[in-house]
Amino acid sequence: MAPRRDHLHAVAARHGGHGHDRGARNKGRRQCRWNEARGRGVVDGRCGPDHRIRWAGRGLVMDAERKKEEGHMPTVLITGANSGIGLEFARQYAARGWAVIAANRSPFKPADYAQLGYDATEIRYDAQDDKKAAELALRLKGRPIDVVILNAGISEETEAAPEEVTAESFERSMMVNTYAPLHLAALLEDNLKMGEAKLLVGVSSLAADTGRYDVPRQFAYRASKAALNQMWRNLAVEWKDWGCTCITLRPGRVRTRMTGYAGDLSVEQAVSGMIGVLDRATPEDNGAFIWHGTELA
């Protein structure tokens, strides 16, 4: 294997390796690049329980070894970790022995926080308040962060017809779903540079897919997530030189508060699938918008 500026591989290898097939990935950007994962339990974007258990178990063992050997703890920051997808990201990373930094507007339920272990930190964060973002960055100054997951998001006026879309709601959606992730990413640039994985993740949506024309309404949401993806592509260019890999993910339709608990996937399924994607990500994925095994437009 040619030598690479590949921090993700270094981290993934320490966490048990990801064993993906480079040959398959090179066949085409839009082709499924994680087909091999199907053999490990990922089928049509769903992860079987065997995959989760083996994967989480391996993570725990590797993290424990790594902590002993190097005194370094892999760290993930998640916004909106008190609810839904964000909470499940926090749970699954904590279960592998990672330190979780939760940037939450509403506090954790005590039982949820306790589940994350002693290495979890909760910091108050409001995506509509730049002062809170600055305070968070100040508190984390000098701390390496391997993976930043900008997950906090809102979905408003989803049924509004064109003439019913309000400026207030549109502005709020753009603020929370688009501007705030960019702003916080910029504030955490030094933390990511200090981390090993250097992985910046935006939680996007199929509604952002510019190649899809059958999405009814959701004007502000769709615009805000499409803009998020475009900004991530900009960051992918901007931060390529220092090895940052910027990825946006589609979680699937997940049963959370946002969807009124309707959808095809449980949070466990959706998040274990997304973490599988992140484990297998390489700098070649910089700028990609990914739905489990497929790159979207």
Ligand X SMILES: NC(=O)c1ccc[n+]([C@@H]2O[C@H](COP(=O)([O-])OP(=O)(O)OC[C@H]3O[C@@H](n4cnc5c(N)ncnc54)[C@H](OP(=O)(O)O)[C@@H]3O)[C@@H](O)[C@H]2O)c1
Q: Which stretch binds ligand X (CB under 6 A): 69-77, 122-130, 141-149, 285-293?
A: 122-130
258 binds ligand X (CB under 6 A): yes
Q: What angle do CA 266, 271, 275 make, to 5 degrees?
A: 160
Least distance from ligand X to the Cβ atom of residue 71, Å = 32
Contacts of the segment 61-70: beta carbons below 8 A, 24+ positions apart? 61/16, 62/14, 62/15, 62/16, 63/15, 63/96, 63/97, 63/98, 64/97, 66/14, 66/15, 67/97
CB 196 within 8 A of CB 146: yes
Q: Is 152 in the site for ligand X (CB under 6 A)?
A: yes
Strands 121-124 and 99-104: parallel
Residue 118 CB, nearest distance to ligand X (Å)?
22
When asked if residue 46 is in the footprint of ligand X (CB under 6 A), the reply is no
**Contact call for residue 62 and ligand X (CB under 6 A):** no
Shortest distance (Å) from residue 79 CB to ligand X: 6
The DSSP element (H or E) to which 297 belongs, if any, is: none
Name the strand (E) or helix (H) holding 270. Answer: helix 267-280
Instruction: Report the nearest approach of ligand X to the CB of residue 208 (Å).
Output: 9
For the bound state, the minimum distance from the C-beta of residue 276 to ligand X, rounded and expressed in Å, comes to 17
Q: Which C-beta is closer to ligand X: that of 127 or that of 201?
A: 127
64 CB neighbour count, 10 Å cutoff:
12
Q: What are phi and psi of 294, to 5 degrees?
A: -135, 140
Kindly tell me which of 136 and 244 has the beta carbon lying closer to ligand X. Answer: 136
Number of neighbours of residue 141 by Cβ within 10 angstroms: 9
Interface with ligand X, residue 100, by CB under 6 A: no
Q: Does 85 bind ligand X (CB under 6 A)?
A: yes
Q: Which of 52, 59, 82, 93 binds ligand X (CB under 6 A)?
A: 82
Question: Would you tell me which residues interact with ligand X (CB under 6 A)?
Answer: 79-80, 82-86, 105-106, 125-128, 151-155, 176, 203, 205, 251, 253-254, 256-259, 263
